[in-house]
Chain A
């Protein structure tokens, strides 16, 4: 035991320098070449920063494409899911309430058309995306409020739909922040 304490301490110190100082500094250095300089890519309107491209935001107003429910209210100072189990009665009541609210705000939509991600919270509470179906189900509402044709809005959703990775792997997504920024820019 005793003759291993010295080597243990010295080995630890040299590895701390390599792994905890040099390694992160090199990555931070190379990261300056990445989009957003390794600080997170931002989205701005007329030079004013309105968000981080990858971090979802709360959109609850009827004139925007609404984002998913969030357990942390989209405050990225923290993150997390609801951690509600599938059989939890209170949770199921909350989902029912979200369905009812959605139907009130989107007259004409049938219950069985509502994609489940619109009434369930994401894992991070910061989900930046919707499925294309979850965006398009909101088009009629927004078209009416903004007096823009539904066709134009559907087209906007399609333009902002990110297909599967290299066309093969994973689901299609729509970044809600970018979609809404583009929506505001529509004349």
Chain B
């Protein structure tokens, strides 16, 4: 057990050690004076993009939304036609419209809920041209979105906030592609397949005839983590022995997914020249992470109390849904990191996590701001920050301001709408699902509502709660027992996915855009300092209160009730 704990400490320690220099590198990539290389210039030329052109926050958002719409159309079309297109050695069928709708959106928004299994539901063509492609561009969209708010932290009054295309292209060419390439090679040399050979058929030692799915998986598995996407090549995601062959690859994949979210924070510190401010934020996020992680690790080591009553030895901890080569600690660590940073890849099945771990995984997605996804993690934190500034301002009786700019009614309204939206989407969605489950159990869908749930009682409720929470947080992990490939779940979560992605991007970019047009008032003794531990605590309290008020009742009905019933 001690080597397992050491493994977890090493994973986190190495992540932070790598994130510090990477943050500096990322900041250099995006400094206004940083030049474009020949590769970027080639891409701009083909795209007929003028990299020197500055755009307003509104025009940048239009550019962002337009190109996302193009991807959605391409992805949807390919998924609907994949059965008759080339690169389909296993002869997998085309998707139904409902599934294609859900899948195309899910990958476009960096979520990767998967209502299909990689082995049978997609082809090598769609794995590469839809999944792998959207993993790169959605992560780059997130990073570019964060860069659109940078200027609101700087003293100059500006009407333009940069060029989305430049941020986007450089995020791919300078950050995502090189890191993914290295990770992919590490995976290939540890046994992850990369060739285009189709499914193999073998006769095992005991004489069973079984298939073995393969394919050009390594590259996609790399960007799946580097870009905090999370969609697996195989159905079992990173629990699959070809997707995550050993403890070393587990460390690589784990570090790869947390690396950019933390490095982006440090990069922001350099870009706005306020490194203390971002270190305080890093501190708040780390405390939040630990509050979720420590109970999870403890409960997973102790194992399942119901199985303890059956009398077997749980010296290896809770093992249902877990792999021997990772053990309960590395699995517990993964389950928390993947839910707080919106990756949603799994190396154990969350549906079988201990009840307390399930609570923590849900809370990780509900706050969605402890490190968070590529770029968007800070954007989520940003609206908590705005609310914290506002409340602190009221408490000390001063006009709330952030870095020399007054935060006024309009900004607060936007931040509050974004904060409240997730409550509405998650709890509204679950309420609707529960209503359908109770009243229309026999609806003639691919999976009847009465057959949705893989577990009874509170845990069944948790499965539905988890699905909507994951969709809203653009996380992508699931309590996979849920029978989700049908009309209801494909469309309902598809809509939640889009709103849960773009509103939390549009909101903060709009707030920052509005702020950067306001008069700059130099900081004075009357200014509320936001780079102190006190203000960090204040922000943490805001996050805690908003999340607790929003979601506690739902958690009480699901995993908390299960936890107490197991005692």
Which residues of A approach B to under 8 Å, CB–CB?
A: 1, 4-16, 18-21, 23-24, 26-28, 30-32, 34-41, 45, 49-61, 64, 68, 74-89, 91-92, 95-96, 99, 111-117, 119-131, 133-134, 164-165, 168-171, 173, 177, 180-181, 184
- Distance to closest chain B CB from A58 (angstroms): 6
A15 touches B205 (CB 8 A): no
Given contacts A8-B70, A15-B136, A15-B172, contact A170 B3 (CB under 8 A): yes
B526 at the interface (CB under 8 A from A): no
CA–CA, A92 to B184, complex, Å? 40
A85/B208 in contact, CB under 8 A: no
* Residue-wise interface mask of B (235-277) relative to A, using a CB-CB cutoff of 8 A (1 in contact, 0 not): 1100111100111101100000000000000000000000000
Partner of A88, one of B6, B206, B455: B455
Q: Which residue of B136, B316, B352 is within 8 Å of A86 (Cβ)?
A: B352
Q: Is B321 an interface residue (CB 8 A)?
A: yes
Whole-angstrom distance from the CB of B50 to the nearest CB of chain A? 9
A sample of 6 cross-chain residue pairs with beta-carbon separation below 8 angstroms, ordered by A number, consists of A11-B169, A54-B242, A64-B205, A64-B206, A116-B313, A121-B320
Interface residues in B271-322 (C-beta closer than 8 Å to A)? 303-304, 306-307, 310-322
Choose from A30, A37, A58 the contact partner of B204 (Cβ within 8 Å).
A58
Stretch from B41-49, B145-153, B408-416 contacting the other chain: B41-49
Q: How far is the CB of A89 from the nearest CB of chain B, in Å?
A: 7
A8 to B68, CA, bound (A): 8
Selected from B137, B210, B352, the residue in CB contact (under 8 A) with A74 is B210
Q: Tell which of B23-31, B187-195, B363-371, B539-547 binds the partner.
A: B187-195
Partner of B311, one of A11, A61, A111: A111
Nearest chain B CB to A118 CB, angstrom units: 8
- Inter-chain contacts of B234 with A (CB < 8 A): 79, 124
Q: A20-B132, A79-B117 are in contact. List 10 more A-B contacts (CB 8 A).
A: A4-B63, A19-B137, A28-B194, A28-B216, A35-B189, A61-B206, A81-B480, A83-B454, A111-B311, A122-B239
With an 8 A cutoff between CB atoms, is B531 at the interface? no
Whole-angstrom distance from the CB of B30 to the nearest CB of chain A?
18
Interface residue? B219 (CB, 8 A) = yes
Mark B60-99 against chain A: 1 for CB-CB distance below 8 A, else 0.
0011001101110010000000000000000000000000
B245: which A residues are within 8 A, CB to CB?
54
With contact pairs A87-B562, A120-B320 given, residues A115 and B313 touching in the complex (Cβ less than 8 Å): yes
Q: Which residue of chain A has the shortest Cβ distance to B137 in the bound complex?
A: A15
Stretch at the interface among B343-351, B439-447, B501-509: B343-351
Measured in the bound complex, the distance between the Cα atoms of B321 and A127 in whole Å is 10
How many angstroms from the CA of A28 to the CA of B188 in the assembled complex? 9
Neighbouring B residues of A14 by C-beta, 8 Å: 43, 46-47
* CB 8 Å contact bits of B142-169 with A (1 = contact, 0 = none): 0000000000000000000000010001
Question: Considering the complex of A and B, which 7 residue pairs feature the smallest CB-CB distances, nearest first?
Answer: A77-B211, A83-B481, A123-B239, A31-B194, A85-B459, A170-B247, A81-B349
Once A54-B191, A57-B205 are accepted as A-B contacts, the answer to whether A77 and B455 lie under 8 Å apart by CB is: no
Given contacts A6-B48, A20-B132, A79-B234, whether A40 and B304 have CB atoms under 8 Å apart is no
Q: Please pick, from A7, A115, A117, A134, the residue contacting B49 in the complex, using a CB distance under 8 A.
A: A7
Q: Verify if B397 is at the interface (C-beta below 8 Å from A).
A: no
Contact status of A7 and B48, CB under 8 A, knowing A24-B132, A95-B307, A171-B325: yes
Residues of chain A with a CB closer than 8 A to B247's CB: 164-165, 169-171
Answer whether residue B387 sits at the interface, using C-beta atoms and an 8 A cutoff: no
Which residue of the partner chain B has the closest CB to A122? B323
CA A34 to CA B186, docked complex, whole Å:
10
Residue B213 interfacial (CB < 8 Å): yes
Using known A-B contacts A12-B74, A171-B327, determine if residue A28 contacts B196 with beta carbons closer than 8 Å: yes
Residue from the list B214, B315, B347 in contact with A133, Cβ < 8 A: B315
